[in-house]
Structures are given as C-alpha cells and as structure tokens.
C-alpha cells in the first residue's frame, strides 16, 4: 500500500464512536492541561500515558497525540489572558498576546492564536507525511555503527539546545545515559550498578522515570508558589471578528510559512521542542518585519509566529521518533514510552511492520487539530477563567495522585511508585542545580540505542585491524559525526541570532 | 555558588566510584558504562574549573535559595507521599489512602488561606476525581489496585 492509501485507511479507522470520543477527550484534557500554568504538554502526556495501557495501540496514540496538540494550543489561552504561558511552548505568545488583551483585543488574539495553531499543526503533520517515509527508507540502511552515532548526535543536540547551560545539558544527558545502564547489560549479561537492590535488576523503568522527572519537580514548584494568584484579563466575544481574523491570518502566508518551517525543523532536531521553536520563530519574525519596533506592543504577527511554530513542532518531532526511534521533543520521549508500552518498537521498521498504526495515529492528530478549534473557541476562555480559581494547594495533591496511578499502572508494581517519587525528588534537586529533566530523560532513552550500537559495532568491527575503525569508515557515520560537530557549535549561533522584545539579545 | 563547586565534585566522586565498579564486569558489559563515566569525569572537571574561575572573578554570590518554611513544606509533602504509598499498599488501600493523604496534603498546603466552605467543596471535588479513577481502573478495567485492609 502507498502512503496515501495508508492515510485513507487511517482516517477510515478513526470514524468509530470510541475513537472519536477518545480524540475529543484528548483534546479537552489537553486544552485544560495546556491552559493550566505550570502543567506542560509533556507532563500531561506523561500523566495520561499509563492510563492508555488498556487501549489498542492506535487508540492510545490517537488519544495522546490529540492531548499533545491541544495542550500546545491550550497554553495560548493563559499566555494571552493571564500573561502566564500555559506551557513553555507559549512563552513568546505573552509578548504580543497579553498586550492585545489589555487593549481589549483579547478575542482577536485568541482567534489569531487559534488559526495560527491550526495552520502550524497541519503544516507539521503534512510535512511528516512527506518526509517520514523517505527518512524511514534511509534508516533501513543503518547498522550498529550508524545507530551509535545517531545516539551521539541526539545527545549532542539535546545538550546543546538545553536552556541556559550547554555543559550542564551534556552532563544531564550523560546522567540519563548512566541511569539507562542500571540492571542487566543487554550484551554482556552482567548485572550493573544495582547495589544489591533486587528492584533495580530490571533497570530504571522508563515510564516511572518520565513521570517522576517531569511531574514531581512541577509539584514542588507548586508548593513553592502555593499562595500566588493569577490576574485574569477578560476577552469578550466580538461578533464578525471570526471571519475577519481568519482572513487576516491567512493573508500573512509568508509569516505563517516561516514560523511553521522553523517549528517543523526544530521539531525534527532531537531534543529541541516548542519551547525553543516559539522563541526562534518570534525572533525571526522580528528580524524579517518592516516594523520590528511594534513587536511586543500587541500585534498579531507576534502571536502568529509563536503559535504556528509551536504547533508545527508536533509533526516535526514525530519524524525522528517514528523513523529513527529518537524522540524529537520531550513529549515525543513520552510517546516513545507509549509505543514501547504497546509492544511497538519506534524506528524505521515501524513503517514497514505497523504502518497501519502510524498512519491512523497521524490521521487522528490531523482530525484532532480540526476538532480543537471549535472546542477551544467555545470553552477556552471559560477554562482560563476557571483555572485561576483552582488553588495550587489542591492541584499539588491531585497531581501526586495522578503520578502515582501513572507509575503504578504500567506493571502494577508498587516499587515503581517509590522509584518515581525518588527520581522526582532527584529531578527537582538536579533542576535546582541547573540540570533540566529534558536531557536526562532523552539520555535515558538514547542510552540503550548508543550501547547496542557501540557493543554490536565493536563485535562486527573485529574484522578490522582495530575494531573501533568501523565507526569512522562508513559514509553514513560521517553524516552524523558532521551533524554532531555542527550542533556542538549551535549554542554560539543561537546566541547571536535570538531577539526578544526589549531589544535585548538572548 | 558553593553548590556550583560542590556539584561537579560530587559527580566526579560518583563517576570514579562507579568506574571502579565496572572492573568487576566483563568487557562487553563494562565498555559502555566506562565510556559514559569517562566522559562524565572529563565534563565534571571542566565544570569544576569553570565554577572555580567564576568564583574567583565574582566572589561568593547570593544564590536564590528556598526559604526554611518552604523547605519544610517540601519535606513534609515528600514524607507524606512516601507514607501515602506505604499505607495505601499495606493498610488503607487505594481509594481510602488516596482520599486521606490527598486531603491531608491539601489542608497542609492551603493553611488558613481557604474558607472552610471552599475547603470542603474542593475536597469533595478531589474525592470525586479519586473515586472516578478507582471505579474506572479497579472496577471497569479490573486493574489490580493496592487493596490494603480496606479498598
């Protein structure tokens, strides 16, 4: 079957009451999580991942994909109305979205964010449909040395794109890789770093680690901010503005396209997510504008840039996840866990062995992108107002409860809950010391890929005078080596290019 | 600033200790951890040198630290969370354990900032969430949830 036929199959598979309800549920949950400041899309997907264990592979992925896309969009509501980005992907939306609200143009800002998100989301997913099968065909030629360098490349990118400190990003990634070595060695068979704790023989569970590292530090932040109140900016619905804003947004094809391309490319890069894409797209919009001084005062171009780019990241991130088994964004790291939980191995073979699941998933997210528009416009403002009334002191135990379910339900093992709590506390401590959860979790995922590549490569390399020569004598290896070197220099390039309101460079 | 210096030292010591452990493994089991630990040693030395240079340049800086009161709350919630899991598994069961500990943590964090009426209302909302999950997972999907002595 061709890609288009698979996609048609995917769409046909969606029109079942259960799947449609799951999609709607995913969109609603995603909007709430996205709109709640402090709860990121990553955390939302991590919290609901284990609950999807009992669903079929495609239903589970459709639910999580819908939640992901809607959470990124939902974050714009609190960014526009509360000046608090709902997710890190909406930081840039506050720059112009909130000033628009203050000027009484909140509804226009919401509509602009909605149509830009729709455009960016669809752009990213269609680009996925074009590029993913091509990359999957190339990835089928990979052997262990290529996978070794692919893992190293992923580690280089996640570290160099980590916020603030490149060196700490690297170390964080390596800590994650080291965590992945706990337990039985995949090739040598020795039991490593367990310190005679039997629960560690099976290794660090990916799902408890993801839930703990992403959710528990956030709960602790809530404890620290428990007495803070949000300031809500009212956005009244204005008749006739819907069509007018739609036309205005669609007129700015260059802005939409630029932001969506940036979002897609940043999504494809392992480890980089919407948090980086929205700021890069914003700074590029400022750079390309004839009136850069107007950015930050409440102009739709700023909202278009950030919202189109952060939703385009979704499709971009699926490319390396589905074709190489390397997560494009932190949320994709969780989706990686979802695929494993369903017995699917992310990577090139997924396209050949379970293309039906892949295309149903993408078709589901495309449909969810359309569904989130009416749902968001109908309930988004109300939700943003409502969430200002939920005290953080209640949210904290509720999230602890959800993290406990999340880590327990994967293998019905209470020691996973203890592991999750301990890793969560470690995650908070590391975050305070400047080591973000993103590189650590991605290191945890990339670790086994790099280890298998290294050890199997060394075994195959015995035919060379020196076994390690196999890692530098294959052309595809050099592609990844050069890419790794390029991304080691990336922070320097970024530092020179990023512009945010206020005239400062960041 | 002290934390900036101590962090690489701790990573360095841990890396060396773990590197020592790898001598007990066969070559195929040890080669990758050694590669990672070697990199960690190099990077933590660089981090340490950088922190020392910054310390010399700027002197000790006032880092943004957590207040003692906030630290107490974090510590209390962490202890209660571990106790929650333990009691849920052995004594109270999933439903009762989650309701009791969730509301206790809510009460501690809310302090006196909430009116009793609001506190009761929110607690009921929380109980409803717990009940929905308990019913959906335990009764509908037959997930073997921790039972304790109750349910």
Residue pLDDT, tens place only, A262-308: 999 888 876 667 777 888 888 889 888 888 888 988 899 999 999 99
Separation CA B151–CA B147 (nearest Å): 5
- Biggest CA pair distance of chain A: 76
pLDDT category of residue B78 using cuts at 50, 70 and 90: very high
Q: What is the pLDDT of residue A1?
A: 62
Query: Which B residues in the span 94-113 are in contact with A, Cβ-Cβ below 8 Å?
Result: 98, 101-103, 105-106, 109-111, 113
In this structure, is residue B147 part of a structural domain? no
Task: From chain A, pick out residues whose CB is under 8 angstroms from the CB of B28.
Answer: 185, 187-189, 455, 459
Whether chain B has a CB inside 8 Å of the CB on A410: the answer is: no
Residue A89 lies in a domain: yes
**Which of B81, B90, B115, B121 has the highest number of chain A CBs within 10 A, making it the mutation to test binding with A?**
B81
CB spacing of A401 vs B7 below 8 angstroms: no
Contact A117, A80 (CB under 8 A): no
- B64 burial type by CB count under 10 A (0-12 exposed, 13-18 middle, 19+ buried): exposed
Q: Provide the domain limits for residue B18.
A: 2-58
Q: Do B26 and A168 touch (CB under 8 A)?
A: no
* Mean pLDDT score, B85-95: 89
Given a contact cutoff of 8 angstroms between Cβ atoms, the answer to whether B82 and B105 are in contact is no
- Residues in A touching B11 (Cβ below 8 Å): 171
Interface test with B, best of A53, A394, A429 (most B CBs within 10 A): A394
The answer to whether the beta carbons of residues A476 and A324 sit under 8 Å apart is no
In chain A, the residue whose alpha carbon lies closest to the alpha carbon of B113 is A227
Q: What percent of chain B has pLDDT over 70?
A: 94
pLDDT tens figures, A77-120: 888 887 777 777 888 898 899 889 888 888 899 999 999 999 99
Pick the closest to residue A304 from A286, A320, A319 (CA basis).
Answer: A286
Ordered DSSP codes for A65-114 = HHHHHHHHHHHHHHHHHTSS-SSGGGHHHHHHHHHHHHTT-HHHHHHHHH
Q: Record the tokens describing residue B142, joined without a space.
A: 């037959």
CB burial class (10 A; 0-12, 13-18, 19+) of residue A236? exposed
DSSP element (H, E) containing A183: strand A183-184
| Domain-located, residue A196 | yes
Q: In this complex, is the C-beta atom of B5 within 8 Å of any C-beta atom belonging to chain A?
A: no
Count of domains observed in chain A? 1
For residue A417, list chain B residues with Cβ-Cβ distance below 8 A.
85
Residues facing residue A184 across a β-bridge = A191
d(CA A347, CA A448): 14
> Are residues B43 and B77 both part of a single domain?
no
C-alpha A330/C-alpha A310 separation (Å) is 13
Measured distance CA(A147)–CA(B56) in Å, rounded: 43
Answer yes or no: is B149 within a domain: no
Contact assessment for residue B15 and residue B37, using Cβ atoms and an 8 Å cutoff: yes
CA distance B37 to B129: 44
CA distance A337 to A320: 14
Q: Rounded to an integer, what distance in angstroms lies between the CA atom of residue A327 and that of residue A267?
A: 9
Residues 6+ apart with CB under 8 A from A203: A180, A182, A183, A184
CB contact under 8 A, A397 and B32: no
Q: Which two tokens stand for residue A459?
A: 């075994």
Contacts of A398 in chain B (CB under 8 A): 102, 126, 129
CB contact under 8 A, B143 and A417: no
Does residue A219 contact residue A399 with C-beta atoms inside 8 Å? yes
**Looking at the domain assignment, is residue A504 inside a domain?**
no
Interface test with B, best of A179, A222, A393, A420 (most B CBs within 10 A): A393
| Nearest-by-CA chain A residue for B114 | A391
pLDDT higher than 70, residue B59: no
Please tell me if residue A471 touches chain B, with a CB cutoff of 8 Å: no
List C-alpha distances in Å: A276 to A262, A424, A441, A466, B32.
Answer: 10, 24, 18, 41, 31
Residue of A nearest to B99 (CA): A401
Same domain, B53 and B75: no
> Does the CB of B49 have a partner CB in chain A at under 8 Å?
no
Name the domain boundary from B58, B85, B104: B58
Helix or strand holding residue A192 (H, E): strand A191-192
Q: Are B27 and B76 in the same domain?
A: no
Is B97 found in the same domain as B43?
Answer: no
C-alpha–C-alpha distance, residues A419 and B142, integer Å: 24
Taking CB atoms and an 8 Å cutoff, what residues of chain A touch B66? Answer: 224, 432
> What does each C-alpha distance from A288 to A254, A282, A373 come to in angstroms?
10, 10, 28
pLDDT in tens, B2-19: 888 899 999 999 999 999
- pLDDT at A495 (0 to 100): 64
* Interface contact B68, partner A, CB < 8 A: no
Alpha helices in chain B (DSSP H): 2-21, 27-58, 68-87, 94-110, 116-133
Round to the nearest angstrom and report the end-to-end CA distance of chain A.
Answer: 48
- Comparing alpha-carbon positions, the chain B residue that sits nearest to A55 is B141
Count chain A–chain B contacts defined by CB atoms under 8 A: 147
Q: Would residue A505 count as lying in a domain?
A: no
Inspect the interface and report whether the beta carbons of B7 and A223 lie closer than 8 Å. no
Q: Pick from A218, A227, A400, A416 the residue to mutate for testing the B interface (most B CBs within 10 Å).
A: A400
Same domain, B109 and B81: yes
Asked if residue A337 belongs to a domain, the reply is yes
Tell me, what's the pLDDT at A506? 37
- State residue A160's pLDDT score: 59
d(CA A371, CA A69): 11
In this complex, the residue of B28, B102, B106 whose CB is nearest that of residue A455 is B28
Residue B89 lies in a domain: yes
The count of domains in chain B is 2
pLDDT value at position A462?
A: 86
B131 within a domain of the structure (yes/no): yes
Residues in chain A where the model's pLDDT stays below 70: 1, 37-38, 157-164, 228-235, 270-272, 384-385, 387-388, 491-506
Domain boundaries, position A400? 3-497
Is residue A391 a part of any domain in this protein?
yes
């Amino acid at each position: 079957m061709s890609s288009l036929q698979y996609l048609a199959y995917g769409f046909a598979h969606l029109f079942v009451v259960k799947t449609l309800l799951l999609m709607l549920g995913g969109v609603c949950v995603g909007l709430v999580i996205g709109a709640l400041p402090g709860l990121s899309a990553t955390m939302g997907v991590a919290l609901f991942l284990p609950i999807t264990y009992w669903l079929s592979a495609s239903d589970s992925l459709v639910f999580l994909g819908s939640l992901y896309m809607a959470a990124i969009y939902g974050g714009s509501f609190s960014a526009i109305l509360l000046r608090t980005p709902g997710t890190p992907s909406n930081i840039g939306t506050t720059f112009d979205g909130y000033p628009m609200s203050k000027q009484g143009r909140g509804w226009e800002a919401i509509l602009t964010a909605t149509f830009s998100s729709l455009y960016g989301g669809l752009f990213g997913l269609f680009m996925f449909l074009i590029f993913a099968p091509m990359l999957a065909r190339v990835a089928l030629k990979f052997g262990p040395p290529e996978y070794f360098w692919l893992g190293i490349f992923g580690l280089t990118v996640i570290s160099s794109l980590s916020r603030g400190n490149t060196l700490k990003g690297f170390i964080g990634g390596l800590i994650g890789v080291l965590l992945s070595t706990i337990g039985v060695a995949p090739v040598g068979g020795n039991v490593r770093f367990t310190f005679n704790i039997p629960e560690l023989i099976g290794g660090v569970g990916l799902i408890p680690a993801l839930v703990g590292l992403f959710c528990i530090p956030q709960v602790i932040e809530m404890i620290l901010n428990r007495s803070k109140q949000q300031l809500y900016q009212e956005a009244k619905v204005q008749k006739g503005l819907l069509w007018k804003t739609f036309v205005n947004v669609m007129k700015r094809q260059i802005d939409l396209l630029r932001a969506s391309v940036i979002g897609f490319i940043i999504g494809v890069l392992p480890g980089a997510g919407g948090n980086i894409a929205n700021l890069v797209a914003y700074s590029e919009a400022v750079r390309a504008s004839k009136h850069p001084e107007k950015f930050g005062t409440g102009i739709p171009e700023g909202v278009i840039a950030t919202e189109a780019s952060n939703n385009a990241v979704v499709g971009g991130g699926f490319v390396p996840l589905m074709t190489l088994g390397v997560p494009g964004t932190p949320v994709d790291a969780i989706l990686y866990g979802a695929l494993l939980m369903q017995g699917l191995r992310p990577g090139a073979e997924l396209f050949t062995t379970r293309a039906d699941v892949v295309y149903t998933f993408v078709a589901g997210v495309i449909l969810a992108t359309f569904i989130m528009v009416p749902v968001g416009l109908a309930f988004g403002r109300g939700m943003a107002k409502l969430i200002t009334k939920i005290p953080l002191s209640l949210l904290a135990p509720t999230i602890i409860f959800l993290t406990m379910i999340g880590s327990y339900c994967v293998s019905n093992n209470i020691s996973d809950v203890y592991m999750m709590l301990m890793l969560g506390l470690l995650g908070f401590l590391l975050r305070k010391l400047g080591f973000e959860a993103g590189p650590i979790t991605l290191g945890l995922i990339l670790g086994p890929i790099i280890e298998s590549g290294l050890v199997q490569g060394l075994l195959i390399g015995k035919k060379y005078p020196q076994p390690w020569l196999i890692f530098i004598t294959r052309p595809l290896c050099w592609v990844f080596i050069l890419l790794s070197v390029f991304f080691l220099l990336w922070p320097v390039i970024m530092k020179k290019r990023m512009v945010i309101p206020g005239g400062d460079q960041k | 600033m002290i934390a900036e210096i101590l962090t690489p030292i701790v990573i360095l010591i841990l890396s060396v200790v773990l590197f020592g452990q790898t001598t007990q493994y066969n070559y195929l089991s040890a080669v990758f951890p050694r590669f990672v630990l070697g990199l960690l040693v190099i990077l933590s030395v660089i981090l340490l040198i950088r922190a020392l240079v910054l310390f010399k340049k700027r002197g000790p800086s006032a880092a943004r630290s957590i207040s003692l009161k906030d630290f107490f709350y974090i510590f209390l919630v962490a202890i209660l969370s571990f106790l929650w899991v333990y009691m849920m598994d052995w004594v109270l069961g999933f439903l009762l354990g989650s309701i009791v500990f969730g509301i206790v943590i809510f009460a501690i964090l809310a302090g006196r900032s909430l009116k009793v009426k609001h506190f009761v209302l929110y607690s009921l909302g929380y109980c409803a969430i717990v009940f929905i999950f308990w019913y959906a997972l335990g009764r509908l999907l037959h997930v073997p949830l921790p039972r304790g002595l109750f349910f």
